[in-house]
Amino acid sequence: MQDQPHVAIVGATGAVGREMLVCLEERNFPLSKLTLLASARSAGQSLPFRGEDLIIKELTADSFAGIDIALFSTGGGISQEFGPIAAATGCLVIDNSSAFRMDPDVPLIVPEINGEEAKNTPRNIIANPNCSTIITLMGLAPLHQAFGLKGIIASTYQAVSGSGAQGITELENQINAIATGAPIEKSIYPHQIAHNVIPHVDVFLEDGYTKEEQKMLHEGRKILNLPDLKVTCTCVRVPVMRSHSISITAIFDRDPSVAEARAAFAGKPGIKLIDDPEQGIYPVPLGTTGRDDCEIGRIRKDQVLPNALVLWVVGDQVKKGAALNAVQIAELLLG
């Protein structure tokens, strides 16, 4: 691949697509040309990049001629249709949807954790993990390296922006309705989200878990190369605009002390230890919004399970949980 590739963003007008633009500009990504692709409805609009306005083009089967890297920020159906078409032209696809994550011929990459696997791309497609999985494993991978991870019990606290712009609008409208005494309207969530939490993210499966909860299990096993990893997860939607938080109990092969755990994070890229609870210092969603790093705090020994630690991890799910992770994968491929 050339040192300054021709890059495309597919789904450029969505929240993740726009964040990809921000990441490419913030990181001074070396590209020769940037093409923005979206639906016919968005074609002709423009978005700013490096001091100029780029015109959005309609996504078609002929869109990928001459493109070296395509960052897909679309739903799974669009990725399944156009991802293989792009890959067949020789374009490398980095896909943010769930379409290819569990394909054995598609690497599932968090650059700080298993970046070396990005070079093996039989289908010319690389998958971005689920946002909650990325944030959780950013906090767990250094501990796994040090102590050997065996199991995870996790509860996620997921921002409404994880549902797209409609989730943000619904929360804002309900807050305004409460303030003015107007009727509460809901369409995105099955219950009122303002002043509430909803233990329901994605669709329910026959075993009582949701698809979102099972992503932590299956994707975690693939990324960490731990086929026997045990995971129990509960995903909760909370009335927060942006950044997901995860409460984690992690069980290890050996018994780590809190001091050893803190030491395991030292010097690791993409994470920041924020852990002085007596001074009110610990990660919160507002503290990570718009930032690259995931933050870790509230590290303590579990009082029930042996060889276990409890920790709290927070990260911007639009940035590191989606757009930034994809751009970092592209950077890996350029060396």
Beta-strand relationship, 125-127 and 149-158: unpaired
- C-alpha angle 112-115-117 in degrees, rounded to nearest 5: 155
Single-letter residue type at 206: E
Residue 321 · residue 309 · CB < 8 Å: no
Q: How far apart are CA 268 and CA 309, in angstroms?
A: 19
Dump strand ranges (E) for 105-254.
125-127, 149-158, 230-237, 244-252
DSSP code string of 66-90:
T-SEEEE-S-HHHHHHHHHHHHHTT
Residue 140 · residue 152 · CB < 8 Å: yes
CB atoms within 10 A of CB 27: 14
- Token digits for 58? 């309609």
The catalytic site residues sit at 131, 244
Q: How far apart are CA 228 and CA 268, in angstroms?
A: 25
